[in-house]
A and B are shown apart, each in its own frame.
Chain A
Amino acid sequence: MSFSLSIAAKATFVAYPVLIAVNVINDVVDEVSIPIEFVDEKSVDSSDADSSAKLVTPEGKTYSNQLDILNYLAGKFPTVLANAESSQELAKFALEHLYIKNFKVLAVDLEKLDSVLNYRTFVNGYTYSLADYATWGALRANALMGSIIKNEVYINISRWYNLLASDKRFDSAVDFMIKSVNDLRKSAKTANNGGKKETHKA
């Protein structure tokens, strides 16, 4: 058995935390390369409409909850996802509260996150913690956040968000997904035309 990660590209809340963590693992850990498969659906599992990601491990286990996946990865790759134990509460908070698109509700929780970052450079500790991936990924997936970050509505959140964004591996994971999904859609279109239509390749 080997690793495989599936991500639902049309999920209401795309599993960026897991996608980014795996992208960094693939970059940092020489002996591991976890293949990432994108599914152009709302869920990776036809029997569960809310399943945004699925990780199959070499041990033959399957995880489909983002926090479970992050915890498994932190156990295997503690240098990439640090401080897992002390990250649980914040990670749960991020995954449950920061994906929300109702600004009135979100604003209260962003204020909490902003105060967490008053005296902290990272969300938990002095390097990328499990909670940093959970939080950054959730905010990156939240369409409301772009202008909020840019306008420094929450000063500490913007500083921290931009620090992680300056690490190319964070946004490149997102770009990789967008490109892969575009390719998927093109080849699906070709298949629908009986394979007659040539795809344009630059």
Chain B
Amino acid sequence: MTDFLSNFEKLSLKDISSIDESKFTPLNDEQKALSSQFQTLSSRFDESESLVSLNENLKSKTFITGTSPSKVDFLVFEKAFPLSFKWTSIEDLSKYRHIIRWIDLIQNKYVDIPEADKLKVDYEAQVAREIKE
């Protein structure tokens, strides 16, 4: 699990759709369900509730299916990444904070994106603390 975190070779953005699933830790049933759920949702990111639901999932999970990356992280990243550049208001920075955190991890650690094309993340953005409901 951790070896995977440290030894992952960065992917190029254009290769994302053809990543070999066998490179990842196998998913259990619950993770498979999450994976297909978010892959489906990612085709509907024009509806804000889809993004809200992704954000909610990434609140307690480092990656979409848990503590390891899986193929769905890359497929969803491809769709969410271009949208994230629009999130500049403090309201959006707060609303999508967990997606931004996850995008920042993927763009720096797993996908090869030139510095200039990365999402600029303001780590000190003054967003209110979230309290579990």
Contact = CB atoms under 8 A, between A and B. Distances in A.
A156 B94 CA distance: 13
A166 B123 contact: no
Interface size range of chain B in the complex: 20 to 34
Interface residues of A, number: 25
Contacts, number: 59
Nearest to A153: B132
B77 to A, nearest CB: 14
A155 interface: yes
Given A115-B129, A166-B67, A169-B2, A152 B105 contact: no
Given A118-B125, A120-B101, A155-B59, A167 B1 contact: yes
A37 B102 CA distance: 39
Interface stretch (A135-143, A157-165, A174-182): A157-165
B60 to A, nearest CB: 5
Most chain B Cβ neighbours within 10 Å, of A153, A155, A160 = A155
Nearest to A162: B67
A72 B5 CA distance: 24
Contact of B121 (A116, A117, A119, A166): A119
A121 interface: yes
A163 B62 contact: yes
Interface of B: 1-2, 5-6, 59-62, 66-67, 97, 100-102, 104-105, 108-109, 121-123, 125, 127, 129-132
The 8 closest A-B pairs by CB, nearest first: A166-B67, A121-B105, A126-B109, A167-B2, A163-B62, A119-B123, A119-B101, A152-B132
17 contacts: A119-B100, A119-B104, A119-B122, A126-B105, A126-B108, A127-B5, A127-B6, A151-B132, A154-B129, A155-B60, A155-B131, A159-B59, A159-B62, A162-B60, A166-B66, A167-B2, A169-B2
